[in-house]
Structure 1
């Protein structure tokens, strides 16, 4: 239940900084701010104008901090309520003292994500846009940030709205046939209704098919670098990271533990995992490293199988190949600066990229191959790319597509008109789950509880 009280929270990160912000939203925002803030100029707080002055304790008038305060009158604010933001020095103590003053004057501490939740409940944004706010904050690459910003701006919501429009048209048409059977509204009904439903289904197909790409841009992917000792796995890690993260020597078995690093590869957030060289060994520590390496291969989204192109393909390589099995894989044939003698098994069909970590040759092609393994050739254009990136959205759209397909099947089979609206209403409800029009309260609570306090 939405209670229209006044909430407050610190909206900047915990710790010391140049500026700290205390945000207040609700009907008592302005009176609370005026009770603790004394502007240097006369006239009081005016909407969307910064005022310079001092935050003081109401009882004694003691100075807490100098501050800049901006008042945003409803509905022209983030929450569509009266909002006040107090910008003070960024020390932990001073920001906390100001928040405590605000609460003592009648506000309550906001719950996680409650400001954004109010923006949603007050109709400023839909649920897709609200969820995208958190994705903007947590983005790790330019491409994932662009995707989140497009969702926040409503570009994904517009695509979903075209699906909804087609369903609404079909529902209105069918219900008109049921309510007014004596009227001449059923001329070419199948052609007319399908003309609206078919584009909606095509858009649903497109959105659902784009989920895999959207998900990896948002969440990132895990990529394991696997191979026998001394093929250049650690050198490859350092090359992709563009820094010396792993020790590289000519001594086999140098890497015995797992090394994890996150890198931006063509806009894709990639968690790289360098593993111990896989081979038979009597060394117990190395054996444990090999065990961990073999354990991680099945759990990765992609395996970079590094081989030494200047050496014959041997049983150690074959052991790794068997461990990879059907897992998505790119063969990285390293040491292209030396004569090539390695020959892969004829029945192995994974893509092969030839590189040299010594000279850097082929590394750009490897980056492209890693990106293509997940984006399937789709260009990540920061100006145009829009996709579904959350499983919740995908699942609801799948339900909508199932219901629409059922409607089309029933319509073409000449099913009784009274039955047809059921599938259309189910499809409409499923689409509404994405944008928040038909989302249950417990799901809303779960979504916004993942936000930080103050957002």
Structure 2
């Protein structure tokens, strides 16, 4: 899809850095760069061979004032990220030179790129499908090696290939059924229906296998929302510091030190935890602490995982029992802390109340039991299986929703077949499933959805 205008944006992060990059893409990219770039011995941007770098200066053509020394990288269409002519100006990474060079590109024929417009052009020009384009932002936002591997696999087309295979299989079934409709004299309608039923069952199994990865994929992409709760002074903040391997939260012997919510990302063996340390849950007359307790309870209810910390050196209190009752419907790991002290906690009662949940004995002070906690978290995320290194995960809510809708259409097609209805009705459901799967890769998706997806990208990508 040819784009008539040329876009420009800063492609590096905001702030000071050693290098900053202004990226141009479009039919006038070289012309804009020619107006600003002064290479050695009068070399212009249009003189630079594709995929090579030239040294020179950016000047303001109105005054011939030198703005900065730069390296100019030229990538001619179609061998570029957008499949258009692309020019990158690598200058010093301060706000002033970046802003000045960007302003000059805009004054000489380019317009400011919209969020994600470079990747959107890569999609519109056929270099990436929609699932691959969405993987670009996942790579940028990846917080662990595992989430990075998943995003890179998606960018390489791992998920897209599986979706295309499913769509091809559905299309083959549609063709077979339509042949039965078009040539009734051949008496192949019954055979086509039997083959369609078998094929649909295979497709349902394949989609179920993909959907089974959705929870793990979402966690790797967004982080496992984890909340640490317990009474004041049981070691919640000490646990957070131990997992972070730094002193992030204030630790004292005074109950109620943590009054607000402390939120951090923690890398637990490749699993990103969005971990929250909360105010200790107890009855209090302190207004500020009371607000903190209420917020802790609210966060606890929506968390993916609750780490309940109990004090091994003290008997269970009414507050402890109340919290144990509150957690019956949630994913919980119970941590019996302070096991370096004489144990007075009723362990049998805790185990009975938390039947089927992991109960671990730890001492944050001595660092014991933390390895077991990390392994328990990993086992929970991967459902007790070894973390796959190259499998395609469904990590995107949009993808999971499309898969579920496609699955429902296939289930409807199977029910229609089982009811002995004509192939025409089966084809309607199959085609609906085919179109839903196409929304994942962008082959059957509307412009409004495309615009929404790329609006989440940063400017310059």
Q: State which drifts further: 277-286 or 358-367.
A: 277-286
Give, in angstroms, the shift of residue 272 of structure 1: 2.0
Distance verdict in 2 for CA 1:54–1:216, change over 3 Å: same
Mapped to 1, the partners of 2:282 and 2:101 lie a distance apart of 61
Residue 384 of structure 1 is matched in structure 2 by: 390
Q: 2:405 aligns with which of 392, 399, 403?
A: 399
- Is the partner of 2:8 in helix, strand or coil? strand
Counting matched residue pairs gives 454
Mapped to 1, the partners of 2:256 and 2:14 lie a distance apart of 43
Residue 78 of structure 2 is matched in structure 1 by: 75
Mapped to 1, the partners of 2:298 and 2:184 lie a distance apart of 66
Residue 438 of structure 1 is matched in structure 2 by: 444
Mapped to 2, the partners of 1:348 and 1:62 lie a distance apart of 73
Residue 359 of structure 1 is matched in structure 2 by: 366
Q: State which drifts further: 212-221 or 193-202.
A: 193-202
| TM-score in terms of structure 2 length | 0.92
Residue 242 of structure 1 is matched in structure 2 by: 245
Residue 7 of structure 2 is matched in structure 1 by: 7
Give, in angstroms, the shift of residue 59 of structure 1: 4.2
- Is the partner of 1:54 in helix, strand or coil? strand
Give, in angstroms, the shift of residue 197 of structure 1: 3.1
CA contact (8 A) 1:294 1:323 kept: no
| RMSD, aligned CA | 2.1
Residue 121 of structure 2 is matched in structure 1 by: 118
Q: 1:92 aligns with which of 95, 109, 116?
A: 95
Q: State which drifts further: 186-195 or 74-83.
A: 186-195
Show CA shifts across 1:388-445 (max 9, x none): 1111111111111111111122123221122221011101110111110111111111
- Is the partner of 2:368 in helix, strand or coil? coil
Q: 2:381 aligns with which of 355, 374, 378?
A: 374
Mapped to 1, the partners of 2:236 and 2:95 lie a distance apart of 44
Distance verdict in 2 for CA 1:341–1:454, change over 3 Å: same
Gaps of 5+ in 2: none
Mapped to 1, the partners of 2:100 and 2:230 lie a distance apart of 56
Show CA shifts across 1:69-96 (max 9, x none): 1211111000011111111122222222
- Is the partner of 1:352 in helix, strand or coil? strand
Residue 35 of structure 1 is matched in structure 2 by: 35
Give, in angstroms, the shift of residue 282 of structure 1: 4.7
2:166 is aligned with 1:163 = yes
Residue 451 of structure 1 is matched in structure 2 by: 457
Distance verdict in 2 for CA 1:281–1:37, change over 3 Å: closer
Give, in angstroms, the shift of residue 50 of structure 1: 0.8
Q: State which drifts further: 106-115 or 294-303.
A: 294-303
Mapped to 1, the partners of 2:65 and 2:241 lie a distance apart of 56
After superposition, where does 1:126-137 map in structure 2 within 5 Å? 126-137=129-140
Distance verdict in 2 for CA 1:253–1:169, change over 3 Å: same
Mapped to 1, the partners of 2:259 and 2:31 lie a distance apart of 63
After superposition, where does 1:274-423 map in structure 2 within 5 Å? 274-343=277-346, 344-345=349-350, 346-349=352-355, 350-381=357-388, 383-423=389-429
- Is the partner of 2:227 in helix, strand or coil? strand
| TM-score in terms of structure 1 length | 0.94
Show CA shifts across 1:105-136 (max 9, x none): 21211111111000000110000010111111
Give, in angstroms, the shift of residue 204 of structure 1: 0.9
CA contact (8 A) 1:400 1:427 kept: yes
- Is the partner of 2:226 in helix, strand or coil? strand
Distance verdict in 2 for CA 1:29–1:185, change over 3 Å: farther
Distance verdict in 2 for CA 1:60–1:258, change over 3 Å: closer
2:232 is aligned with 1:229 = yes
Mapped to 2, the partners of 1:131 and 1:371 lie a distance apart of 26
Mapped to 2, the partners of 1:78 and 1:106 lie a distance apart of 21
Q: State which drifts further: 404-413 or 288-297.
A: 288-297
- Is the partner of 2:185 in helix, strand or coil? coil
Mapped to 1, the partners of 2:11 and 2:272 lie a distance apart of 27
